[in-house]
A and B are shown apart, each in its own frame.
Chain A
């Protein structure tokens, strides 16, 4: 797992960037740390047990990345291509994803809760045991994906497509769904009500 140490700055509640004693926001080397991490992703380096929350990334192709037990929470990704990436036990909660591509990703035990997704594409992905609780998704596509045991509890989903997905054990309880399609998906194996 990533380092559970918190930033040395008083009243800061964020995790430190791995190998340093402050969070990214309070780091003097903020730009260098961000650039270094992005560069490692662009080189397709396998990254494990690394924490760098509050990251800002724009117009990057990090497709094919491999991340294990990493913390990238509270980050902002705009026009970032994550296609064919592998995310295992990664924490990306309370982040913003705008026009990001996640085509063909494998996400296992990863956390995206409380994040905002606008115009994102998750087609043909394996998103297993992942946490999308409380997300706000607009104009997103999950078509042809395996969403086994993935939670969308209390999510707000607007213009989201789940066509031909495996929804076994997926949980949509208390989600608000506007113009959401489950065509050709096994929605009867998902949960939509607290009582079921």
Chain B
């Protein structure tokens, strides 16, 4: 399995290309389809068989239309993606499945959006906008922020901290780094400690 990183200046988002030895590939969050992404796919002799979406925000999905004119793929996400004729597969929580010989696990981690899902492939986790390097994803209300923090604490932090993290925006990281230095997680912990001590 090989993992490639692509950054799109439109939406400032990361797209991940994951390929197997037979030339079949998975794209995670194609936020924009540009020449660089096409060159990345083609120069490595991959054919896009599957697209995984961490959530349905445009900066993570806008490249699907153009990609569908080039490749014939299935789309996987937590909530329906109905605008296209492409085959769509809804993913349940804690679901283990295999695509092109690559084992994938899902974790539903709502808060940034109600349909946010984290994909775990081997010792790599693709967190979309749930968990970023040093920060957590943006939320539109106190309730959503609270839900996001609780979801991260309950579902992501108990995982193996050697897990490598590939976020939807910004630099890669590891779960250990985030548990030690993520300012939003540390801030939440400080607030909680302060409340308990009072």
Interface residues of A (CB under 8 A from B): 1, 4, 6, 13, 15, 49, 69, 88-89, 91, 93, 108-111, 113-114, 129-131, 133-134, 149-151, 153-154, 169, 171, 173-174, 194
Contact = CB atoms under 8 A, between A and B. Distances in A.
Nearest to B171: A131
Given A131-B133, A153-B133, A114 B181 contact: yes
Contacts of A88: 5
B162 interface: yes
CB-CB nearest 7 A-B residue pairs: A153-B134, A134-B181, A4-B123, A131-B171, A113-B177, A174-B183, A133-B134
A contacts with B: majority SS: loop
A89 B164 CA distance: 11
Given A150-B171, A154-B186, A131 B177 contact: yes
Contacts of B3: 1, 69, 89
Contact of A154 (B2, B5, B173, B181): B181
Nearest to B160: A13
Interface string B94-125: 00000000000000000000000000001110
A89 B134 contact: no
Contacts of B180: 114, 134
A89 B12 CA distance: 18
Contacts, number: 91
A75 B191 CA distance: 34
A49 B4 CA distance: 12
A194 B12 contact: no
A158 to B, nearest CB: 17
A113 B173 CA distance: 8
A26 B135 CA distance: 35
B2 A1 contact: yes
B8 to A, nearest CB: 12
Nearest to B122: A4
